[in-house]
Structure 1
Amino acid sequence: MPSVPSAGRAPARRLVCLSIAAALAGAAVPAFAATGTWDEAYAGLAPDGADRATRLDGVEVTGDRVDGPSSVKYTEPLLDTPQTITVVDRQTMDQQGLLSLNDILSTLPGITFGAGEGGGGYGDSINLRGFNANADITVDGVRDAAQYSRTDNFNLESLELVNGANSVHSGAGAVGGNINLVSKAAQLAEFHQLQLGAGSDDYGRATVDSNWVLGDGEALRLNAMVHRNDVPGRDHERFERWGVAPSFGFNLDGDTRLTLSAFVQRDDNVPQYGVPYFPLVGGLPAGARMDAYYGYRNVDTQEVDADIATAVLEHDFSDAATLRSLLRWSDISQHLIVNPPQGTFCTVDGINPATGGACTGGLLPGQYQPSGPRGTLRDTDTTQLASQTDLVVDFSTGGVEHALVAGVSLNREDYALDNGNVQRNADGSTPVYPVMDLADPDNVYTGPLNYIRSGRTEGSLDTTALYVFDTLKFSGRWHVNLGARWENVDGDLRVRTFAADGTVTADTRFETDEDLFSWRAGVVFKPAAQGTIYLAWSNALVPSRAAANGSCTALTCATDPEESGLVELGTKWELLDGHLALTASAFRNERENYRVRAWDPVSGLEIEQQNDGRARVDGVSLGLAGNLGERWSVFANATWLDSEVLQGVSDECLANPGTGACGNTPADPDPTRGDRIENTPERAASLWTTYAVSDAWTIGYGITYQGSFNGGRGAYPDVPSYTTHRAMVAWQAGDRLTLQLNIDNLTDAEYFTRVRNNGWATPGEARSVTLTANWLF
């Protein structure tokens, strides 16, 4: 939830520069203007539209330029920040029709998606530069660690993707980086926008964004949304949701400012568990269909309730000193029942796709027998109370200028999970599921429905952090960027299991208390005012439980924190009089001591896991963003990632291969050594470009390439690469009305976005068409 833009910061903090990969462009839907009228903002659609400014809670946009990350911890503009940060702004989301968090991230290279089941349950599961980032999502700089699906961007101003080990900024975790969502905030400008959309696959959407200036320095902004659609190319999968997000700003143009914000969203979805997938037979088994639903559509459900309230108080002591304090409460609950497409399969060729041999279980060609965790219920609730206070000061010592940020963060998370199964006989036994047609599965459940609870998990996590950042400017050419963070993570976890009759079969408790110290250092050299060359180092620390919903066992709770390190060499340049950004970086992100299985040669049992695992990602990142003239804009990114597992078992298992619980043998003492890290494509690239063919017409085209990657099935073939295309045409029908046509997956390519290593995968969405009317009133 947003804070109020600071009106009194020093001008040096508002130097205009380009984002590393800011999503810039002449657009069909205008960016919001912080000053002036909506007519003036709308004029930005024309190639010769007047320069205009937008303040995005710390990100100042002037014309086609983006100043810096929204967090006050970043003391300098992006041009002078020694880190790879990609900003996707509101304009680009609207141009491409990107709605969910996964939609936005799927257009950025270096990111893949997992099944999202482990730990906290089904929801957004993100791999960033080869490392899990599920708990590394922040909203306005505050951790949003609940595991759920972030399906809509109606209250987002921008998304910031921070690449590389980054615990010093975002807190425990952030091995590969973190994702920050910047919320909309009340502004001192009167504007009103209504969007109505319709399209294929029963797509319907309506949003409103209205901002009223109520008086001297006071404003109210209201965002609301209602949406539904079937998933393109999939039978019976759907999304339905509504949301509302008010924001009140008081004394926005004064020295003391207060913003009160709320966010409410309700989702009623059918979860996407996809289709059977077996790498041994090339993915989809022969006879199975990409559009078929292999669960039970009358049982499967995902219901998400998100309630968030935020207060932000800011006070300018002077042009050089500001105090900012944020307080947030959130409650995220999810009710989930799923039937993953698991079981025994027989292809139309008479092959068992799991083994490559003959079919088993009496199945005939083209049949499958459902089994596994079908009818699984997970009710989760995550509440959070967070406080974050920052003091931002500019000062000089001798001939050195300082931009200092000092802060304290307090965070409390509470998590509860009830899990069990609803498709059970009254005595708790599993019903026998009927054999089904592989091509036309019977996805309506007619068996017994009795909820049998199997477990209850309750956990809490208290986090206290102190941090300081300083940018030292020794001259116009040399800057040094420093940061340090001390953090204590103190948590408890209670796990109970139940028999079918409700009696408790196990009741275990775990506690964690860990101190973490993370840091960052960067040296910036400016050979010219419009360019920088930098070298940066940082680390990331992952405790036993980085979030309240994180799992913790007797084998993992007492281990030391995992550590990762980053070294990055990069350069950033503003070209064409500041209208185009060109960036490049080379980096090494090394996970130095992650937890792996260990074995006690005396007892012959698995013991507390050891921090002996090592993995490394070497990479290159390229970005180009901005305007190539008055009519043509471009936003392009590419990554090359060379990932490798350096050690995948403990030192004890290496010394005693074949005798413990590590799955290794004397002939192969470390089976995963040398493998690519799971879900890490070697090559990935994306491009979005628009061209204003006239004052009234704008066209856009995008392409995304995702290279093949290791799906976690050992020596099995990789998940195949894929390429998707998208297109946009926008027509300015009048002073206040724009019509925009989007076509996604233009060639109707078939591909998979996430692969589960036990036999199923989620297909990418098929071709879809939407038409959106944008009315300013």
Structure 2
Amino acid sequence: MLSAAINADAESPSKNVKKKHQYKEDSKSQTKKNEISDAETESLTVTGHGFNTMHDYLGLSRMPQDVMHTPQTINVVPQQLMQQQNVKSLDEALRDVPGVTSSIGEGAGGMNGDQFLIRGFQAQNDIYEDGLRDYGVYSRDSFNMETVSVIKGPSSEVFGNGTTGGAINMITKTPTLSNRATAEFSGGSGNYYRGTLDVNRKINETTAFRITGMGDEHDIVGRDYIYSHRWGVAPSIAFGLGRKATLILQYMHQQENSIPDFGVPVVTKPGAAYGQPITEYGIRRTNFYGTRSDQNSTNDNMETARFTYKLNDHITFYDDLRGGQYYRTFAGSKATCDKTCVNNYFYGNPADALVARSGPTGAGNGLGAGTYMAPLPYQQQSWSVQNVFSMVANFKTAFLRHQLVAGFDIENVSDSRQQYTYLNAKPYASLVNPNPNVGNLNLVPGNSNPSGLVNLGGIGAKANSNGYGFDTGIFLFDQIWFTNWLSVKGGGRWDRWQTAYNVTGGDVSKYPDKHFHDVSGVFNPSVSLMITPDSHQTYYFTWASSTTPMGMYVTNGSVPIRPGTTSFASPEKAQLYEIGAKYSIFHDRIGLTASLFRLDKGNAMNADPVTGELEGSSDKQRNQGLELSAGGVILPGWNVTATYALYDSSTTASSTAANLGKNIPYVPHNQATFWSAYNAFASKPYNFLIGGGVTWRQHVWLNAANTLRVPANVDFSAVISHRFDEHWKISMNGYNLANRLNYQSLFSNRATPSTGRMFIGEVKYTY
């Protein structure tokens, strides 16, 4: 038999380590791997990165099978790919995953940070780290990420409430029983400077310590006045490695000081069929319509304890506990170009085209009657705690083999905010030549200036808010093998979701304090039929459901509960129908996946075009399509990964007749990614690695009426690197090589231009 031995040290081509292929010889036990003897094995040494993720595990006890044997579309961004592309954030890692879009969360809460949509559906509350929810609203750096997985489709039976479009799970770097240290320094376009450190030390035969750290500061190429300064550290220690009982203790701290970029307004040119970003009509992509007073300061901390106990060969227990503390100070500006602004620009008076920096028309607050000022500055403090206990049991009943997963999940998240206002009005900005220097706007607490607070419908103009969400979940699902190759997996999760929201302060004589509370119980089942002729191929059909109840967005939605509107009505529900196939071919060198899916969502949450708030509706939406992926080693030293998605989305029922049959916002019809790299002369002093790729996304609509859209994105990138010896490596990455005007973060009436052409050089030392 033949096995592929991928170079164990992906960063050291001079070390050709032969790894015996592990395969599942006994098809009755897919969790037991037997090593092929040397006499039976022909080793094929491959220099390069193994991009085949079919046999990767997801790092979740609730999903104990590898990617190959999990009946759902799963896109994994491996560490090797992140290294070649010099990925620096979660947002950058997800650009390799089709169907994931960045959005600009906003509204009176002014949300920003990582705000993602999966297959067009909100996922800002569906970000996980090692299977535990990360409630923070911040831009997650990659310095402590091992891999990133996107588990697509409803998965409430695994993760709990939410996951309409899917879940994003990061696996963190944890200690191993080896001594290793890596230091990297990068510099490049846009005053870019970055340093990272990763040190792992073996303490004894079962204990190890690891610490990763990062410092990063840069401007944004192609955007004026935008910058980001952040640093982070993540120490961890592991006890009992290789033993029945293992305990991993982790801490993560990240701070950032940056300028939020709410992009440019989307306008409809007189006579045009649909609106586009104003930068499509001659306005410079560099234009920043915010002010020098804008800021985004975050301080995020998470403490995690993960315990594993293997009782015997059949039963393993897991208990994962995390606490999180998140602090944020925020002030941003939303640019709005109204009809007068549009007419002045397009009818020959561009100097008179003025942009409101405070959002569209709405409640009055000192800027003149009917002027809406959002997002308001605020300070936010949040904390969370979550504990997930689970058991994985492998056993038989008569001739049937089972893998049972059962457990409970308890989590609490709490949030409080203090709104601030400006005593001085934000002056309008020139559409053509905006000036961020607006002087002292006199920032004061909201209670000092009640007339400056924003009035949100059903709530009132309030200075302070606080709320919490408490969830108790019980889950159980079982995979039953009827034969060696045919199995059924089914189960569900019941959740009791309790949430509260309180608003106080402001002019209480006009807007009394209000207190809201809600309790709901939901059950989300799933069932899958799986055919696995051998360990290298899987065919499946899955039906799964999810529920997003009221009040889910405690930390990343400024008004999680709003009685009197449809957001207080029934929860958002979604159902997934998916058929797929997964292959690991050419002796596990190449992984292939294909899936057809249909995702139906009822009571869809839509973004209000004025406030930016997520509100429930009676709308029903459907996204269906085809997803393909391939990744692995084609020839020794030649790696490739490619994805393609074809989506057909529509609104199938709506209270607004004109929206019926329209495309779902943020869902492209076509999307594809490709990346390939070749390591030439790996064992020679003149070795080099060269690679490149492209990401492409067809145009997307920004609103339910399909009257506003952003054009297609096309981004070419490349890398070249050289290793001097086992320790030193230099590399150069280029991004957006065509300097194309792309758009990254999107919202219902604005879009943020992506980074322009940039180059980053890196020096890396490994010991």
Alignment partner, residue 423 of structure 2: 424
1:232 aligns with 2:240: no
Describe the shift of the 1:745–1:49 C-alpha distance in structure 2 as closer, same or farther (beyond 3 A). Answer: farther
Cα deviation digits, residues 640-669 of structure 1 (max 9, x gap): 1101001122xxxxxxxxxxxxxx5xxxxx
Other structure's SS at 2:709 match = coil
Q: CA RMSD in A?
A: 2.8
The partner residue of 1:679 within 666, 686, 689 is 666
Describe the shift of the 1:574–1:352 C-alpha distance in structure 2 as closer, same or farther (beyond 3 A). Answer: same
1:332 aligns with 2:319: no
Alignment partner, residue 401 of structure 1: 401
Alignment partner, residue 3 of structure 1: none
Other structure's SS at 1:766 match = coil
Other structure's SS at 1:351 match = helix
Other structure's SS at 1:234 match = coil
Kindly state the Cα deviation for residue 376 of structure 1 after the two structures are TM-superposed: 2.8
Alignment partner, residue 739 of structure 1: 730
Other structure's SS at 1:79 match = helix
Kindly state the Cα deviation for residue 471 of structure 1 after the two structures are TM-superposed: 1.6
1:351 aligns with 2:360: no
| Equivalent AA in structure 2 for residue 424 of structure 1 | L
| Equivalent AA in structure 1 for residue 672 of structure 2 | A
In the TM superposition, 1:28-427 aligns within 5 A as 42-43=11-12, 45=13, 48-51=16-19, 66-118=55-107, 121-146=111-136, 148-280=137-269, 282-284=276-278, 286=281, 288-296=283-291, 298-342=292-336, 344=338, 351-352=343-344, 364-365=351-352, 368=355, 370-372=357-359, 373=373, 376-421=376-421, 423-425=422-424
Other structure's SS at 2:618 match = strand
Q: Distance in 2 between matches of 1:503 and 1:732?
A: 71
Cα deviation digits, residues 274-323 of structure 1 (max 9, x gap): 22331446422645311122211x21110010011011122111122111
Describe the shift of the 1:545–1:17 C-alpha distance in structure 2 as closer, same or farther (beyond 3 A). Answer: farther
| Structure 2 contact 567–617 (Cα < 8 Å) conserved | no
Alignment partner, residue 436 of structure 2: 443
Unaligned runs of 5+ in 1: 1-15, 19-24, 34-39, 598-608, 650-663, 665-669
Q: Distance in 1 between matches of 2:765 and 2:332?
A: 40
Kindly state the Cα deviation for residue 504 of structure 1 after the two structures are TM-superposed: 7.7
Describe the shift of the 1:72–1:596 C-alpha distance in structure 2 as closer, same or farther (beyond 3 A). Answer: closer
Describe the shift of the 1:50–1:493 C-alpha distance in structure 2 as closer, same or farther (beyond 3 A). Answer: same
Kindly state the Cα deviation for residue 524 of structure 1 after the two structures are TM-superposed: 0.9
Residue range with higher mean Cα deviation, 332-341 or 404-413: 332-341
Alignment partner, residue 466 of structure 2: 458
In the TM superposition, 1:610-759 aligns within 5 A as 612-649=618-655, 670-695=657-682, 696-712=687-703, 714-758=705-749
| Equivalent AA in structure 2 for residue 303 of structure 1 | S
Q: Distance in 2 between matches of 1:681 and 1:376?
A: 32
Kindly state the Cα deviation for residue 452 of structure 1 after the two structures are TM-superposed: 4.2
1:544 aligns with 2:550: yes
Kindly state the Cα deviation for residue 332 of structure 1 after the two structures are TM-superposed: 1.2
| Equivalent AA in structure 1 for residue 677 of structure 2 | T
Residue range with higher mean Cα deviation, 334-343 or 63-72: 63-72
The partner residue of 1:478 within 481, 486, 493 is 486
Alignment partner, residue 762 of structure 2: 772
Alignment partner, residue 581 of structure 1: 591
Describe the shift of the 1:404–1:99 C-alpha distance in structure 2 as closer, same or farther (beyond 3 A). Answer: same
Cα deviation digits, residues 379-433 of structure 1 (max 9, x gap): 2222001111111111111122111111111101101122232x324xxxx36x2
User: TM-score normalised to the size of structure 2?
Assistant: 0.85
Q: Distance in 2 between matches of 1:676 and 1:358?
A: 34
Q: Distance in 2 between matches of 1:548 and 1:92?
A: 34
| Equivalent AA in structure 2 for residue 405 of structure 1 | V
| Equivalent AA in structure 2 for residue 288 of structure 1 | I
| Structure 1 contact 166–174 (Cα < 8 Å) conserved | yes
Other structure's SS at 1:560 match = coil
| Structure 1 contact 345–367 (Cα < 8 Å) conserved | no
Describe the shift of the 1:595–1:74 C-alpha distance in structure 2 as closer, same or farther (beyond 3 A). Answer: closer
Alignment partner, residue 553 of structure 1: 562
Kindly state the Cα deviation for residue 74 of structure 1 after the two structures are TM-superposed: 1.6
Describe the shift of the 1:587–1:713 C-alpha distance in structure 2 as closer, same or farther (beyond 3 A). Answer: closer
User: TM-score normalised to the size of structure 1?
Assistant: 0.84
Other structure's SS at 1:169 match = helix
Cα deviation digits, residues 460-490 of structure 1 (max 9, x gap): 1110001112221222211212231111101
Cα deviation digits, residues 178-201 of structure 1 (max 9, x gap): 111111111111111111111111
Q: Distance in 2 between matches of 1:594 and 1:343?
A: 28
Kindly state the Cα deviation for residue 114 of structure 1 after the two structures are TM-superposed: 1.6
| Equivalent AA in structure 1 for residue 746 of structure 2 | V
| Equivalent AA in structure 2 for residue 680 of structure 1 | V
| Structure 1 contact 383–415 (Cα < 8 Å) conserved | yes
Describe the shift of the 1:438–1:394 C-alpha distance in structure 2 as closer, same or farther (beyond 3 A). Answer: same
Describe the shift of the 1:220–1:611 C-alpha distance in structure 2 as closer, same or farther (beyond 3 A). Answer: same
Other structure's SS at 2:470 match = strand
| Equivalent AA in structure 1 for residue 490 of structure 2 | L
| Structure 2 contact 10–80 (Cα < 8 Å) conserved | no
Cα deviation digits, residues 90-140 of structure 1 (max 9, x gap): 221121122122111122111222211146722222111121111111111
In the TM superposition, 1:472-621 aligns within 5 A as 472-499=480-507, 505-549=511-555, 550=557, 551-555=560-564, 556=566, 558-594=568-604, 612-621=618-627
| Structure 2 contact 252–303 (Cα < 8 Å) conserved | yes
Kindly state the Cα deviation for residue 346 of structure 1 after the two structures are TM-superposed: 6.8
Kindly state the Cα deviation for residue 527 of structure 1 after the two structures are TM-superposed: 3.7
Kindly state the Cα deviation for residue 671 of structure 1 after the two structures are TM-superposed: 2.1
| Structure 2 contact 420–443 (Cα < 8 Å) conserved | no
Describe the shift of the 1:716–1:216 C-alpha distance in structure 2 as closer, same or farther (beyond 3 A). Answer: same
Q: Distance in 2 between matches of 1:564 and 1:344?
A: 36
Kindly state the Cα deviation for residue 714 of structure 1 after the two structures are TM-superposed: 2.9
Amino-acid identity (%): 25
| Equivalent AA in structure 2 for residue 694 of structure 1 | F
| Equivalent AA in structure 1 for residue 301 of structure 2 | D
| Structure 2 contact 209–238 (Cα < 8 Å) conserved | yes
Kindly state the Cα deviation for residue 42 of structure 1 after the two structures are TM-superposed: 4.4
Q: Distance in 1 between matches of 2:20 and 2:294?
A: 48
Other structure's SS at 2:511 match = strand
Other structure's SS at 1:145 match = coil
Describe the shift of the 1:544–1:367 C-alpha distance in structure 2 as closer, same or farther (beyond 3 A). Answer: closer
Kindly state the Cα deviation for residue 343 of structure 1 after the two structures are TM-superposed: 5.0
Other structure's SS at 2:658 match = coil
| Structure 1 contact 114–127 (Cα < 8 Å) conserved | yes
Q: Distance in 1 between matches of 2:246 and 2:581?
A: 37
| Equivalent AA in structure 2 for residue 624 of structure 1 | A
